[in-house]
Structure 1
Amino acid sequence: MTAQSSATAQDPIAVGSDRLTSVRRSPGGGLLLAGLGVLAFSLTFPSTVWGLESFGPWSLVALRSVLAALIAGCALPAGRVPLPARRHWAGLAVVAGGVVVGFPLLTSLALETSTSSHAAVVVGLLPLTTALFAAARTGARPPRAFWVAALAGAVLVIVFTVQQSGGKLSAGDLYLFGALLVCAAGYTEGGRLAKVMPGWQVIGWALILALPVAVAGAAVALPFEPVHLTARGVIGLVWVAAGSTFLGLYVWYRGMAEIGVPRASQLQLAQPLLTLVWSFLALGEEVSAAAPSAAVAVLVCIAVTQRAGSRETRRTGAEAPVRS
């Protein structure tokens, strides 16, 4: 068996003339990178609310994607990054449709009628949904303790966020549940691709792929949606473009490649609680006195999922092979 065929046996994606190499795994660094991604994502809802002060929902999402694609369009040539292999473009299209277009659009529409803290219920279900998608797509099989802790964390976050919003479901909840599904698919596919190309290239190529749709969307939406530029509106747009869409997804996908999609996804259990903090500080939304207790309970669930996932990785030596 040649060195190339040996590498192919270990990583079914890294074949052909990709000129891509598998990402070196570093569990400690992966946790840090994925945690930084969660921190960036936790600012997305408050920043979107700020952005909606200046732009309509369709315009905001289109401009967000265009600006992020411009960053990617500068970074990719500067790094002399070759085009991905043809077989990776379908996965990149899932990333583009899920995290570049679908999730931002659906949550922006939802935030026209929902508060930022109420929208956090989506993120409360996202870790469990992403782990389920990963199990189906990549063959990952975390132990039972992982699933018990993941389910408990999801229930804790949902109960807390619904209680925080008074137990009422808004008209935007259908948008939120749709956003949950497309985002979980985009996270899973991006984490799969990030095993063979750097995370910034995954999101970079996904942004380039979505650029024609974003430009067309901006051209259609801007004449019909009023634009009232404010400082907060511009800051919100810049953050969701550069912070959430590009930098946040870069460290997030790189972290998922190093520690696995299921383990990384459970770090997002902390995201709704962080979002509540930012919503209080930036938007003046009320946060209940139960927040500290909920935070501690969620952190315990995160610790259990990380311990169970780490123990399973040590036992098997690696994640299950990716299904091409």
Structure 2
Amino acid sequence: MRSDEIRGLWLGFAGVAIFALTLPMTRLAVGTPEAPQMSGMFIALGRAVVAAALSAVFLIATRAPLPGRAEWLPLAVTSAGVVFGFPLFTSIAMRHVEAVHASVIVGVLPLATAAVGALLHRQRPSAGFWLCALAGSALVVAFALVKASATGATLHVADLLLLAAMGCAAIGYAFGAHLSQRMRAEHVICWALVIALPATAPLAFHAMPRAAVPPSAWWGFAYVAVFSMWIGFFAWYRGLALGGTVRVSQVQLVQPFLSMLFAVPLLGERLDATTVGFGLAVIATVFLGKRMPVRPLAPPKKLETP
């Protein structure tokens, strides 16, 4: 393995360790249906505003050049995925499901990221890869249904929001990693946040909490704003660019377990055998999927001139 790939894997792991606290800290900030704190809308958009302010300072301090014409559209897609989609869907969902539960849903993210990255980089995953992707997704849906039936409920809309969040994150990660090969990785997330500011700032102000919330909720908000929304991407995008999206995305295998472990002391949640079992099964499908070949697409044949 090349030194760049090793560095990429370690940077990817650092980013994943930071992201692993996102779900528990979001739960801390939004509260529960019985004891609500901040709204999911404010958590999602307010954290983007804080991170955008930090990004503007960083871009000025590092004299970042303006993105080129060809970079604006990928930046907009990255922003839609990781600045709007993922934070908004997870923040709304986390009031209704425990962080341990949500961590299993997150288990499908490595394969989703690898799949989007393979398509973006014109690679051809094997049939085995797609089989593993489908199996992992099926396990996640089955887990949500099993947990719902255990409580006598139907599939919660929060589970669907979490699945949508995984799709947004996979797209945002893959496009951000692609941009990180042409721009500084730190500048990718900073520009993605800054270009979203005209939308996030007024919406976040409108959604600000009007009543007092406990300090613990503000600590949760501060973490997702500074670390989950900003610092974590510095390591993550650089890791994806150095080691390759398909390879480094698999480091996310450890994220569900780290999230579960963080949720126990932070939120007082507990791990049950069903959750651990499904979590291991999802990780197994991702592990198998990463071993399946992913080949570059053959270039189109040139038309022969008579």
Give me the TM-score of the superposition, normalised by structure 2: 0.82
Query: Cα–Cα, structure 1 residues 91 and 141, in superposed 2: closer, same or farther, change >3 Å?
Result: same
Tell me, in whole angstroms, the C-alpha distance in 2 between the residues paired with 1:307 and 1:291: 25
How far the C-alpha of 1:184 sits from its partner, in A, is 1.6
Match of 1:109 in 2: 92
CA distance in 1, matches of 2:79, 2:210: 26
Residue 27 (structure 1) aligns with: 5
Letter in 1 for 2:218: V
Deviation by residue 1:54-87 (Cα, 9 ceiling, x = unmatched): 4211112221011111111111111111111022
> Do the aligned partners of residues 169 and 273 (structure 1) sit closer, same or farther apart at CA in structure 2, a change above 3 Å counting?
farther
| Alpha-carbon spacing, 1:303–1:221, altered in 2? closer, same or farther (3 Å) | closer
Contact 1:123 1:269 in 2 (8 A): no
State the distance in 2 between where 1:303 and 1:174 align.
24
Secondary structure at the aligned position of 2:124 is classed as: coil
Q: How does 1:1-324 map to 2 (within 5 A)?
A: 26-53=4-31, 54-142=37-125, 169-222=155-208, 225-289=209-273
Q: For structure 2, which runs of at least 5 residues remain unmatched after alignment?
A: 32-36, 300-306
| Residue identity matched to 2:164 | G
Residues 153 and 57 of structure 1, relative CA distance in 2, 3 Å threshold: closer
- How many Å apart are 1:123 and its aligned residue? 1.3
Which runs of 5 or more structure 1 residues have no equivalent in the other structure? 1-23
Rounded Cα–Cα distance in structure 2 between residues aligned with 1:216 and 1:295? 38
Distance 2:17 2:174 in 1: 19
Say whether the 8 Å CA contact 2:86–2:169 is kept in structure 1: yes
> Within 1, Cα distance between the matches of 2:116 and 2:49?
28
Letter in 1 for 2:85: G
Deviation at 1:289, TM superposition (A): 4.4
Identity of aligned residues (%): 37
In the alignment, is the contact (CA less than 8 A) between 1:157 and 1:269 conserved in 2?
no
Residue range with higher mean Cα deviation, 287-296 or 125-134: 287-296
Do the aligned partners of 1:194 and 1:202 also contact (CA within 8 Å) in 2?
yes
Q: Secondary structure at the match of 1:26?
A: helix
CA distance in 1, matches of 2:275, 2:262: 13
CA distance 1:78–1:162, change in 2 (3 Å): farther
Q: Aligned equivalents of 2:60 and 2:73: distance in 1?
A: 22
The residue that corresponds to 1:20 in the other structure is: none
Q: CA deviation at 1:163?
A: 5.6
The alignment partner of 1:141 has SS state of: strand
Deviation (angstroms), 1:40:
1.2
Q: Distance in 1 between the 2:270 and 2:148 partners?
A: 9
Is the contact made by 1:50 and 1:233 (CA closer than 8 Å) also made in structure 2?
yes
Distance in 2 (alpha carbons) for counterparts of 1:132 and 1:243: 26
Q: Which amino acid aligns with 1:31?
A: L
Deviation at 1:132, TM superposition (A): 2.2
